[in-house]
């Protein structure tokens, strides 16, 4: 099963998930698309992309106050088409936090997070699973949507806890 782990990134995981055809690179520097099940793919956002996002936000801090505008920055920083044909989920997982939101054509279709309060944590993957449902992932007989497409998240917590 493909997995995403934060090795070398302090257990932080940030990435974009969409139908493979919607993760079109527009510059050669775009990261590879990891094929997942059901026609979905993942582009992990490593340190260089995160730095580019940070630089864009430093130049225009107002971009951080609007998820649609922020998502355009993320897509451009990753070297991807900032106006993909289909919806794209942005996932962010680190110890004590898990969040995901789904962007399409300038709108946020859903935003989910499992906050920083240890007493509020649900099962690992809940916000990401909600975003995957918005993308059209079919759970079928799998334990959850992440499992249905072969995505394993590692963030210091175990899935199901």
pLDDT at 9: 36
Can you give the residue ranges of every domain in the chain?
A: 3-153
The set of residues, in sequence order, having a beta carbon less than 8 Å from that of 65 and lying 6+ positions away, is: none
pLDDT at 114: 81
pLDDT at 40: 96
| Tens of pLDDT, residue by residue, the chain (161 residues) | 445 543 333 457 899 999 999 998 887 656 788 999 999 999 999 999 999 999 999 999 998 889 999 999 999 999 999 999 999 999 998 877 889 999 999 999 999 888 654 444 445 568 999 999 999 999 999 999 999 999 987 644 444 43
Cα–Cα distance for residue pair 32/16, rounded to 1 Å: 11
Which backbone phi and psi does 97 adopt, to 5 degrees?
A: -150, 145
Q: Taking the model in full, what pTM does it have? A: 0.83
Residue of 108, 31, 58 lying closest to 23 (CA atoms): 31
pLDDT at 158: 40
Residue of 156, 161, 128, 122 lying closest to 144 (CA atoms): 128
Cα–Cα distance for residue pair 88/105, rounded to 1 Å: 10
Cα–Cα distance for residue pair 82/76, rounded to 1 Å: 6
Cα–Cα distance for residue pair 131/149, rounded to 1 Å: 13
């Amino acid at each position: 099963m493909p997995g995403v782990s934060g090795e070398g990134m302090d257990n932080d995981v940030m990435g974009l998930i969409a139908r493979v055809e919607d993760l079109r690179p527009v510059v050669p520097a775009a990261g590879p698309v990891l094929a997942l099940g059901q026609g979905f793919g993942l582009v992990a956002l490593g340190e260089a992309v995160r730095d580019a996002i940070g630089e864009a936000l430093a130049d225009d801090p107002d971009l951080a106050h609007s998820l649609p505008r922020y998502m355009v920055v993320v897509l451009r920083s990753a070297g991807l088409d900032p106006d993909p044909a289909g919806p794209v989920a942005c996932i962010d997982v680190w110890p004590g936090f898990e969040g995901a939101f789904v962007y399409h054509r300038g709108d946020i279709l859903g935003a989910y997070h499992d906050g920083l309060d240890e007493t509020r944590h649900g099962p690992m993957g809940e916000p990401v699973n909600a975003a995957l449902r918005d993308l059209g992932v079919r759970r079928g007989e799998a334990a959850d949507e992440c499992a249905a497409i072969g995505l394993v998240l590692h963030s210091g917590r175990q899935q199901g806890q």
